[in-house]
Amino acid sequence: MRYAHEVDKVRAAEQALMARLPDGTLMARAAAGLAAVCARLLPRVYGARVVLLVGGGANGGDTLYAGALLARRGARVVALRAGTSVHEGGAAALRAAGGRLLPPDATGEIDTADLVIDGLTGIGGSGGLREPHATLARRASAAPATLVACDVPSGVDASTGAVAGTAVHADVTVTFGTHKPGLIIDPGAAHCGVVELVDIGLGADLPDPDVVAARPDDVRPPEPGPESDKYRRGVVGVIAGSGTFPGAAVLAAGAAVRGGAGMVRFASDAHAVELVRQRWPETVTRVVEPGPDVLAEIGRVQAWVVGPGLGGGERAEALVGAVLASDVPVLVDADGLNAVSRSDALRRALLCRDVPTVLTPHAGELARLLRVDRDAIEARRLEHARRAAVELGATVLLKGSTTLVAELDRPVRVNPTGTAWLATAGTGDVLSGLVGALLAGGMAALEAAAAGAYLHGLAARLASGREGREAPISAEDVLRAIPDAFRTLD
């Protein structure tokens, strides 16, 4: 796993470590790591033109000391002071190495630089950048030079990824000790470029992480063994589709089939059932209408998926209500989520469940569930995913440019796979069926949601990039690539 810690925990770990080290040791470690990465990015250090953007905090100090190390190797280094003061020790080191400090209006230096280091603000920065910081951030982001952010791009909230106004768009971000959530969660993640982690010795002083991102060997979906049969592998029930949205039924059911379920029981109206029967003859299908025994008519399952393409109205609400009243894990998506957002009775049923429930909203659906603006969700994805997990009593998979999986009192999972080409109709239906299969196979809700998101994103990458360069894909392409995604796991 890749671990990320919020700023207050990083600060506490730094203080604990500094208490055991000689004064200045931690900053020296950070500066050395930053300078080493910058040196690798330059064709050669000797004669290179390096510009430092420095504020008055510790990140400005790290940047100045790193600049001094580069200057000693023959780089021409100048620092533009954004604040009324700079780190005195760092400034003295830079001058001693032959570097210069210039006022913030010397922005022409940025345009002719080979490399720019952003040390305007640090991990404690929040809110929009003020002047002259904002002007320097814009100028550096637009310049041809390689732009390296020190610890976090200035203007990005390190703990949340929120960006309030102007922020640096780095090519590389060199972060110290541990990742910060804002480096791996959008919109902040989109400002970071490649993230390089420098070990400065914080490990023993860091508590449990706030956010984690999986690596390939962390994803462990259920695998059949010699004693497996279709029932032991998991039976998933899918209630999806309608006369208006029959395709969602085909995609969700197909993803459950290809996601490893031992059996898929599918139920819907006659049209959706006929399409699923034709496309996926291995499914067990049934035409149903809402009623007190609707789930019994479909048959026993180990998990339910309800909502994709279900449509609106009383029929959808009745089917969602029946599923929420069941005693097995449930995944609610799409029109199922909209039904919950409209109905106080369904919201109460959701809160009363004592077995796992996974909700898979996009930002608009989560906005309706939480009764906030969609823009607020997009701006502070981490905050709202956590809030939803608490208020709705469920595991919440928030889809989007950064997919998050939140559960009460657990580190938030950040999905590292995917492609922008996933933003196309039907891919969410595929994700629902895939996660439902993993739930039916016995995975815990948080693990199933995180593994499903990982495999879904990986399938999209494989489908989009089979010829080396990514190309447009459809939901059907993602569905077909699910087995390939499973094969890539160690």
Predicted pLDDT of residue 156: 97
Length of the chain: 490
CA 73, 76, 81, 85 torsion-angle sign: positive
Is the domain spanning 2-212 CATH 3.40.50.300? The answer is no
pLDDT digits (tens, 9 = 90+) for 128-159: 899 999 999 999 999 999 999 999 999 999 99
Residue 245 in contact with residue 309, Cβ under 8 Å?
A: yes
Query: What is the per-residue DSSP string for 107-148?
Result: THHHHT-SEEEEESS-TT--SPPPTTHHHHHHHHHHSSSEEE
Task: Read off the pTM.
Answer: 0.93
SS3 488: coil
Q: How confident is the model at residue 127 (pLDDT cuts 50, 70, 90)?
A: confident
Question: Do 147 and 113 touch, CB atoms closer than 8 A?
Answer: no
Q: pLDDT tens-digit profile of 32-79?
A: 999 999 999 999 999 999 999 999 889 999 999 999 999 999 999 999
Task: Give me the pLDDT at residue 223, please.
Answer: 80
pLDDT given for residue 406 in this prediction: 98
> In the chain, pLDDT over 90 holds for what percent of residues?
91
Q: Are 426 and 434 in contact (CB under 8 A)?
A: no
Separation between Cα atoms, residue 421 and residue 477, nearest integer Å = 11
Task: Summarize the confidence of residues 183-207 as an average pLDDT.
Answer: 96
What pLDDT does residue 215 have? 87
Asked if residue 414 has pLDDT above 70, the reply is: yes
Q: Specify binding-site residues.
A: 58-62, 118, 122-128, 151, 154, 248, 309, 362, 399-403, 428-429
Residue 157: which of 192, 131, 133 has the closest Cα?
192
DSSP state at residue 469: S
> Measured between alpha carbons, how far is 283 from 261 in angstroms, rounded to an integer?
10
Tell me how far apart the alpha carbons of residues 323 and 305 are, in angstroms, rounded to a whole number.
Answer: 8
Cβ neighbours around 131 below 10 Å, total = 10
Q: What is the DSSP string of 282-308?
A: TSEEEE----TTHHHHH---SEEEE-T
Residue 467: band (very low, low, confident or very high) from pLDDT cuts 50, 70, 90: low
For residue 217, pLDDT over 90 is answered with no
Tell me which CATH code domain 216-487 carries.
3.40.1190.20
- The binding site for K(+) consists of 59, 118, 154
Q: Which of 3, 58, 55, 8 is nearest to 31 (CA)?
A: 58
Q: What's the confidence (pLDDT) of residue 393?
A: 97
For the chain, domain boundaries: 2-212, 216-487
- Binding site, annotated residues for AMP: 399-403, 428
236: part of which helix (H) or strand (E)? Answer: strand 235-239
Give the pLDDT of residue 466: 58
Binding residue numbers for (6S)-NADPHX = 58-62, 122-128, 151, 248, 309, 362, 429
pLDDT at 241: 97
Task: Return the number of other C-beta atoms located less than 10 Å from residue 56's C-beta.
Answer: 16
The first and second tokens of residue 122, run together, are 């640090």
d(CA 104, CA 7): 28
Do residues 457 and 419 touch, judged by C-beta distance below 8 A?
yes
Residue pair 372/379 in contact by the 8 Å Cβ criterion: no
